[in-house]
Amino acid sequence: MRMNGAQMLCQSLVNEGVEVVFGYPGGAILPLYDVLPQYPQLRHILVRHEQGAAHAADGYARATGKAGICFATSGPGACNLVTGIASAHLDSSPVIAITAQVARHFIGKDAFQEIDITGITVPITKHNYLLTRAEDIANVLKEAFHIATTGRPGPVLIDIPRDVFTDEAAFAYPARVNLAGYCPTVQGHPLQIKKAARLINEAKRPAIIAGRGVIVSEAYEELKELAEKAQVPVITTLLGISCFPENHVLSFNMLGMHGMAYANLAVDAADLIIAIGMRFDDRATARVSGFAPHAQIIHIDIDPAEIGKNLKVSVPIVGDVKNVLRSLNKQIESRTHIDWIQQIEQWRHEHPSTAIRETEELLPQYVIRKIHEVTAGRAIIVTGVGQNQMWSAQHYWYDKPNSLISSGGLGTMGFELPAAIGAKVGLPDDCVWCIAGDGGFQMTVQELATAIQDDIAVKIAILNNGYLGMVRQWQELFYDRRYVATPLSGPDFIKLAEAYGLPALRVRSKAEVIPAIQKAMDHQGPFLIDFVVEPEENVYPMVVPGAAITEIIEAPGEKVEFGSKPRNISNL
C-alpha cells in the first residue's frame, strides 16, 4: 500500500497502539499535522510549549508503562523538547519524540528553523534517528518502540525532514525488529542468582533497597514475596517509592539525602544490601565511600553498565527484575529477623522522620498529609522538584503501585503540571494530584490552558511559600541565610486560574485545608488550590552534601502534632 511519509508515520503509531500524542505544530511538521485528521485513533493534545509535550509524554509513559509520544517542529520546537527528553532519559522513561527537520536539500545549510537535533540529543536519548527516506519510516518506528520500551527503557528521538513526510512509498509494517546491536539480558545468570540466594539465606541484617526498576518491571508481587519470605525490610529510593506498599510492616520508606533517618541507619547497619532496579545515585547513597560498610551487596539491574559504576558490589545480577526475583525467590528459604526489624523499628521511634511539628501555621507537610487523608492514599501524585517533591515523598503514604511520578534524576522544575496532565490522560479514571512549588509551577504554568482546552481533570496543589524553597534552605544552612535570588513573587494564582478558566481556592489556615481538597475532588474538571504555607519551613531529615548517610540533620525537636504512623510488628 502506497502512502506518503506522514501517513506512514501515523499508521505506524496506530499499529503500535498509540492513542494519544502531545504536540505543537510548526512549519516543517505541517505535512504531518495535515494528515492527522485521517487517523481519528490518534488523539492530539495541543500543549502550550514543546517542553510541556515532552513532560506530558513522559508523565503518560510513567503512569501507563506504554510509550509516550510527542511531536515538535524543527529548530526551536525540537530544542524546546530537550529538557523533557533529558528528564525522561535520566529516569528511564519510554518517550518517543517525533521532530520535523528542514527539507533534505536544506540540511547543513543553516536553513530557517534548522537545528541538528539528533546531534543535540545524542547524550540524552537511548537512541535517535535522522530519517532520510520515506521507505525507512515503518522499520525505524518499529525499532524505536522496541528500543524505547524494552530493556532499560528510555527516550528515542526520530527526526524527519519535511520532504520525507511528503514522499510516497510502499508501506508494510514489520512484524519484528532485527537489531544486532541491541539484545538486553533479561534472565539473570543462574550462578549469580544462586550466590545471591546463599547470601540472603545467611544474612542476619539484610535490607532491600528497591528502585524504579521494580515499577518498570511490575515486579510488585515478586518483591513482596522476597521481602516476606526472607523477612527483609524494604527501603526505597525516591523513584522506587510505591513499588512496595508503605503501609506494609516491612516498609521503612525512602533513604538518602532527605530519606528517613531510620532507613539510612538501617542501610548503614545492614550486613546485606539487596539493591533491586536502582543505580546508587548520589542523592540515595550520600557519600558513597563508606556506604553500607558492613554489607555485602547484591545488585540486580537490567543495565550492565550500572553494575560497578558507582559502587563495587559482591554479586551482580544483570536481568529484568521480575525474572530475576522469580528465580531468586525459589531459592530463598523462610527466615525471621525479628531482632533486626525491631532494631529498625526502635530507630523509627527514636527518629520520627515523618513527624510534623505542632503549630497554628499552615505547614506544607500538613497539606500533603491531608491530601493523603482525603484521597485515601489512592491518588497518583505528580511532583515538582525541590521541597514540594521531598515533602510529597515523605508525607504521602504510597500504598498503590506506581503512584508517585517525579523527576528524580534530572530534577526538572516545571515537570509537575505537564507530567500530571500526561498521567491523567493515561489514567483517566485515577485521581491525579499535581503538587507544585510556586517556583516550578511558574515554569510551565502555560499548560493550564492545555488542561482546560482538553478537559484534563488534574488537581493542582501549589505549596506557595514565596521562595525557591530548597535553594533558600541551602542558603539558610550553608550560605549564612544570604537569600540571594530566592525570594520569589508570583502572580495571584487564583486570578491566574480564573483567567485560564479553571476554578481555584486560596487556603491560608489549617481549617480550610480539608474542605478545599474535598472541593477540588468533587469538581469534575481541573482545579487549583493555592496553599499559602509557612515560608521558611525546611525539609528534614537532611544529609549534608558530601556527608555520610548517617550524618543526619533532623528537625529541631519540638512538640509533635503528627507522629509517624504506628504499626504493629507483633504479627511478623
Which residues of the chain form contacts with other proteins (CB under 8 A)? 118-119, 122-123, 126-127, 130, 147, 179-183, 185, 187, 189, 192, 303-305, 307-309, 316-319
Per residue, what are the HEC states of 513-562?
Answer: HHHHHHHHHHCCCCEEEEEECCCCCCCCCEECCCCCCCCEECCCCCCEEE
| Host H or E run for residue 21 | strand 20-24
Shortest distance, position 268 Cβ to other proteins, whole Å: 26
Shortest distance, position 188 Cβ to other proteins, whole Å: 9
* Cβ-based neighbour number of residue 171 at 10 Å: 19
Closest CA to 64 of 461, 419, 436: 419
Please give the grid coordinates belonging to residue 210.
Answer: 528497591
CA end-to-end span of the chain: 63
Q: What is the DSSP letter of 565?
A: P
CA–CA distance, 42 with 565 (Å, rounded to integer): 45
CA–CA distance, 127 with 16 (Å, rounded to integer): 18
CA–CA distance, 17 with 11 (Å, rounded to integer): 10
Q: What is the dihedral of CA 112, 113, 114, 119, to 10 degrees?
A: 160
Q: What is the DSSP letter of 487?
A: B
Shortest distance, position 185 Cβ to other proteins, whole Å: 3
Which is nearer to other proteins, 255 or 315 (by Cβ)? 315
Which is nearer to other proteins, 102 or 257 (by Cβ)? 102
Which is nearer to other proteins, 182 or 474 (by Cβ)? 182
CA–CA distance, 389 with 458 (Å, rounded to integer): 17
Shortest distance, position 170 Cβ to other proteins, whole Å: 23
Which is nearer to other proteins, 123 or 566 (by Cβ)? 123
Shortest distance, position 123 Cβ to other proteins, whole Å: 5
Which is nearer to other proteins, 182 or 562 (by Cβ)? 182
Which is nearer to other proteins, 180 or 485 (by Cβ)? 180
Which is nearer to other proteins, 118 or 242 (by Cβ)? 118
Shortest distance, position 229 Cβ to other proteins, whole Å: 25
Shortest distance, position 127 Cβ to other proteins, whole Å: 4
Shortest distance, position 174 Cβ to other proteins, whole Å: 16
Which is nearer to other proteins, 127 or 212 (by Cβ)? 127
CA–CA distance, 348 with 346 (Å, rounded to integer): 5
